[in-house]
């Protein structure tokens, strides 16, 4: 089942890709903000389909869909209900009152689940501090998995894209992949680019992604006089090719649940520079696969980038170490094995296997 924004459908949509095993998808429309009528309708739709399908497990994702899905599953009497919280919504950038309300909602919704998965130990600690679960054993770390076949240098085509973006084959490329939203700290990326440009004027900067801050970021680049060296690639589906073109991957993100894009860049054997925040620090091994810097300090990011641009052997060493780390800790296969293990454990506890 899938909860998303958009038009509600009355029946399943069967995916045609072979790796989806013709899994039926029931689409339910819910708004991002609280809407008692729309949310109640979504709960009723899910309740009706769950009773018809009679699953042993319902596994929900994301905060809003997770609340609606968990409530419907409990009302339907589903034996095992699991929720994945990629990041809790009560982050420090919210007004205090809103943060307390979100905490209360998450505590309530957690009671409807037998287990809550999180991507990193840092997010687990956030949940425990907020009292999301009464029993700490219900809050379990399951790292996200990367498609190691898709994210591989063997499949990248950096030369083609340099031509598309009119970037010289000799120019170093510092890039990022992110939604253009405040959480991602891209204002810091542009400031970092300006500082790097002063010492390495032939370096090009690539930003892949779309979002409401695009015009603001473009104006910032113009104001700093580096617009000719910054490419806004927009929404792309060829992220491995883009990462293969980068000499260094950088993202001064302010908030993450896991930092999957860092793991993807590491799988592409790119050295990374990320924010010194808990989830990113669990992915990027500082001084081994990349560097960490303070989220609001463009000068720290610039210093690390210049260090890497000036040392090809370090870039190569960090990139290779990053690939090995992802293969060891963050593969799709490892993630699926862990999730399957918890499915079997919870079903056994309910006496269903």
Residues 326 and 344 grouped into a single domain: no
Domain range enclosing 21? 2-144+333-349
Q: Which two tokens stand for residue 323?
A: 């690939």
Residues 50 and 110 grouped into a single domain: yes
Query: Following DSSP, what letter does each residue of 217-264 receive, concatenated?
Result: HHHHHHHTT-GGGEEEEES-S-HHHHHHH-SEEEE--S--SS-HHHHH
Residue by residue, pLDDT tens for the chain (353 residues) are: 444 333 334 444 444 444 555 677 778 888 877 788 888 999 999 999 999 989 999 999 988 899 999 999 999 999 999 999 988 888 777 888 988 998 999 999 999 999 999 999 999 999 999 999 999 999 999 999 999 999 998 876 767 788 889 999 899 999 999 999 999 999 999 999 999 999 999 999 999 999 999 999 999 999 999 999 999 999 999 999 999 999 999 999 998 888 899 999 999 999 999 999 999 999 999 999 999 999 899 999 999 999 999 999 999 999 999 999 999 999 999 999 999 999 999 999 999 98
Q: Which two tokens stand for residue 160?
A: 């083609």
Residues 315 and 345 grouped into a single domain: no
Q: What is the CATH number of the domain that holds 322?
A: 3.40.50.2000
Residues 132 and 180 grouped into a single domain: no
pTM of the model: 0.85
Q: For residues 299 and 314, what is the distance between their CA atoms, to the nearest angstrom?
A: 20
Residue found under tokens 């599953």: 73
Q: For residues 191 and 226, what is the distance between their CA atoms, to the nearest angstrom?
A: 10
Residue found under tokens 């949940």: 127
Q: For residues 286 and 219, what is the distance between their CA atoms, to the nearest angstrom?
A: 33
Residues 167 and 224 grouped into a single domain: yes
Residues 180 and 238 grouped into a single domain: yes
- Work out whether strand 173-177 and strand 80-85 pair parallel, antiparallel, or are unpaired: unpaired
Residues 235 and 265 grouped into a single domain: yes
Residues 137 and 214 grouped into a single domain: no
Residues 129 and 181 grouped into a single domain: no
| Count of structural domains within the chain | 2
Q: Supply angle C-alpha 244, 201, 288, rounded to 5.
A: 45
């Amino acid at each position: 089942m899938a909860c998303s924004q958009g038009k509600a459908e009355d029946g399943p949509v069967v995916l045609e890709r072979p790796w989806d095993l013709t899994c039926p998808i029931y689409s339910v429309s819910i708004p991002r903000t609280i809407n008692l009528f729309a949310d109640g309708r979504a709960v009723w739709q899910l309740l009706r389909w769950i009773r018809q399908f009679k699953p042993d497990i319902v596994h929900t994702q994301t905060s809003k869909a997770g609340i609606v899905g968990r409530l419907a599953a409990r009302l339907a009497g589903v034996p095992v209900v699991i929720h994945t919280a990629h990041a809790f919504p009560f982050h420090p950038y919210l007004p205090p009152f809103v943060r307390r309300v979100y905490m209360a909602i998450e505590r309530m919704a957690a009671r409807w689940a037998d287990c809550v998965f999180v991507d990193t130990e840092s997010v687990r600690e956030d949940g425990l501090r907020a009292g999301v679960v009464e029993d700490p054993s219900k809050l379990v770390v399951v790292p996200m998995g990367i498609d190691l076949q898709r994210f591989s240098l063997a499949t990248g085509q950096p030369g083609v894209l340099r031509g598309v973006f009119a970037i010289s084959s000799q120019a170093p490329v510092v890039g990022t992949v992110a939604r253009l939203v405040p959480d991602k700290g891209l204002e810091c990326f542009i400031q970092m680019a300006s500082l790097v440009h002063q010492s390495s004027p032939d370096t090009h900067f690539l930003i892949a992604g779309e979002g409401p801050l695009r015009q603001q970021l473009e104006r910032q680049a113009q104001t700093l006089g580096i617009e000719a060296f910054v490419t806004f690639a927009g929404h792309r589906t060829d992220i491995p090719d883009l990462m293969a073109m980068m000499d260094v991957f950088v993202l001064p993100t302010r908030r993450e649940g896991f930092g999957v894009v860092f793991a993807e860049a590491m799988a592409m054997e790119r050295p990374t520079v990320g924010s010194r925040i808990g989830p990113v620090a669990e992915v990027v091994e500082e001084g081994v696969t990349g560097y960490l810097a303070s989220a609001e300090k463009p000068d720290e990011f610039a210093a690390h980038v210049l260090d890497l641009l000036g040392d090809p052997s370090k870039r190569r060493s960090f990139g290779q170490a990053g690939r090995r780390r992802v293969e060891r800790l963050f593969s799709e296969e490892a993630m699926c094995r862990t999730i399957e293990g918890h499915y079997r454990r919870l079903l056994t506890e309910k006496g269903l296997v």
